[in-house]
Chain A
Amino acid sequence: EVQLVESGGGLAKPGGSLRLSCTASGFTFSSYSMNWVRQSPGKGLEWVSSISSSSRYIYYADSLKGRFIISRDNANNSVNLQMNSLRAGDTALYYCVKSWGYEAFDAWGQGTMVTVSS
């Protein structure tokens, strides 16, 4: 069974940083692209960032303007999201999501909540 478990969320002050982690199991992690998707309270889904299986290709939503950095460790089946210069608008539930090629996002973690507030 595919499992994705996020951690690292919490309360951060505006301008602060947080590092989210996601540990994967139940599939060959090194073969799949991974993503972060966020959902602000009461709002829709917003794609944040993607990283290819080998880390060769990395993409970010334009709205992030270089504040976030995605990385992965295939030896430890983990993907991370370093979030810098946090803003109130970054407050959201952050999901770790597995890609299934271009077909779909086929497995989602339960999410980790990030709250940015002074």
Chain B
Amino acid sequence: IQLTQSPSSLSASVGDRVTITCRASQGISSYLAWYQQQPGKVPKLLIYRASTLQSGVPSRFSGSGSGTDFSLTISSMQPEDFGTYYCQHLDGYPLFGPGTKVDI
């Protein structure tokens, strides 16, 4: 199984709605997580089981999808949301997507 993310990078403004897609090379279970990594920081869990918001994560983050196509949406970009986002599949050998860099 391979994970691809699109776009690989994007520029956004504060207040924008941003959607990042994670596509699997074959159908996968919903054990799909999303992480945010700000520059120089440790990855932070945002979403697990494809659509469940991790405790303490702002509600502007949401996840959806099933099968081969999953997405992470930020409803209104905030200054602290800029960074790189990774999807990860955990059913089987853990596998990360290549990342999507979100900058201003």
Contact = CB atoms under 8 A, between A and B. Distances in A.
B43 A108 contact: yes
A47 B95 CA distance: 7
A61 B48 CA distance: 22
A47 to B, nearest CB: 4
Most buried by A among B90, B91, B97: B90
Nearest to A109: B42
B97 to A, nearest CB: 8
Main secondary structure of the interface of B (DSSP, over half): loop
A59 B99 contact: no
A100 B94 CA distance: 12
B48 A45 contact: no
A110 B37 CA distance: 12
B9 interface: no
B22 interface: no
A103 B93 contact: no
B99 A44 contact: yes
B54 interface: yes
CB-CB nearest 8 A-B residue pairs? A104-B33, A104-B48, A47-B94, A44-B99, A45-B96, A102-B31, A103-B48, A108-B42
Interface of A: 35, 37, 44-47, 50, 59, 61, 95, 100, 102-106, 108-111
Interface of B: 31, 33, 35, 37, 42-43, 45, 48-49, 54, 84, 86, 88, 90-91, 93-99
